[in-house]
A and B are shown apart, each in its own frame.
Chain A
Amino acid sequence: DAGVIQSPRHEVTEMGQEVTLRCKPISGHNSLFWYRQTMMRGLELLIYFNNNVPIDDSGMPEDRFSAKMPNASFSTLKIQPSEPRDSAVYFCASSLGQGQDKNIQYFGAGTRLSVL
C-alpha cells in the first residue's frame, strides 16, 4: 500500500510568490495533519482535518496560510504571499481516526520549502 504522498519534495521560491503544497493521504485514513519542522520551533502542528473537515487550525501562523481538503484523497497547504521565515520542512500525515489514542500517524516524506 502506498504511504502518504507529498509533492513537491523541494520548492524554492522568491518572497512574495504563492506556494502550494500537496498531500495524498493513505487510502482509508480519515484524519489528515499538516506539520511544520524548523530548527527553532521543532515540529509543530499547523492544522488537521477529520473527514475532510478542519478540526484544529490553531497552529496556522497567520492569514497568509490556508489549507483545504476538498475530498478524502487530497489536501493542499497554500502560502500567499510567501516570506523567508516560512522556509521549513512541511510534513503531511494521516491516520485512521482522531479520538482513539491508538491511531498512529504516518508521515509523508515532507516538502522542503526555501523562500529567498
Chain B
Amino acid sequence: AQKITQTQPGMFVQEKEAVTLDCTYDTSDQSYGLFWYKQPSSGEMIFLIYQGSYDEQNATEGRYSLNFQKARKSANLVISASQLGDSAMYFCAMKGSTLGRLYFGRGTQLTVWP
C-alpha cells in the first residue's frame, strides 16, 4: 500500500521568501510518481509539479521545485519568491506503477503574509 505523510498542518512565510513544504512517502513499488497540487480557497485542485522515481534531476516548474531524496523517501516542494497568491492548501500525492489512483497526504495550509 502507498502512504503519503505531510507533517506540517500549517506554514507561514513572508512575501518574496522561499518556503519548503514537507512530504514523505512509503511504497514498495520500484516505479512511482510524485505530484503536488495546490487548492486555493476557491476549491479547485491545480496540478503544480511531477517527479518520477527514476528521474535523476529534481523537477522544476517556474517558481516550484521538488527536492526529491529517494533514499529518504521524501519529495518536498520548494516555492521560491513567495507571492500572496500562493496562499492555499498544498497536497502531496503519489501514484504507484500499476494502478492509476493517487494517494494524497492531508495537506499543508500555506499562508503568505506581506
A residues near B (Cβ < 8 Å) are 31, 33, 35, 42-45, 48, 50, 55-56, 89, 91, 93, 95, 97-99, 101-110, 112
Contacts and interface: CB of A to CB of B under 8 A. Distances in A.
B26 to A, nearest CB: 16
Interface in B64-114: 91, 95-102, 104-107
Contacts of B107: 42
Interface string B24-58: 00000001110101000001111100101100000
A107 B45 CA distance: 6
A102 B52 contact: yes
Given A101-B53, A107-B45, A43 B98 contact: no
Given A45-B102, A48-B100, A93-B45, 11 more contacts: A42-B105, A98-B99, A98-B100, A99-B97, A99-B98, A99-B100, A101-B31, A101-B33, A102-B50, A104-B50, A110-B44
A89 B97 CA distance: 27
Interface residues on B, range: 20 to 34
A43 B37 CA distance: 12
Contacts of B102: 33, 35, 45, 105
A55 B99 CA distance: 9
A72 to B, nearest CB: 16
19 contacts: A31-B100, A33-B102, A35-B102, A42-B104, A42-B107, A43-B91, A48-B100, A89-B43, A93-B45, A95-B100, A97-B100, A101-B53, A101-B95, A101-B96, A103-B95, A105-B35, A105-B102, A107-B37, A109-B43
A50 B101 CA distance: 11
A50 B99 CA distance: 10
Most buried by A among B31, B96, B104, B105: B104
Nearest to A59: B101
B100 A50 contact: yes
A48 B101 CA distance: 7
B52 A101 contact: yes
Nearest to A31: B100
A95 B93 CA distance: 15
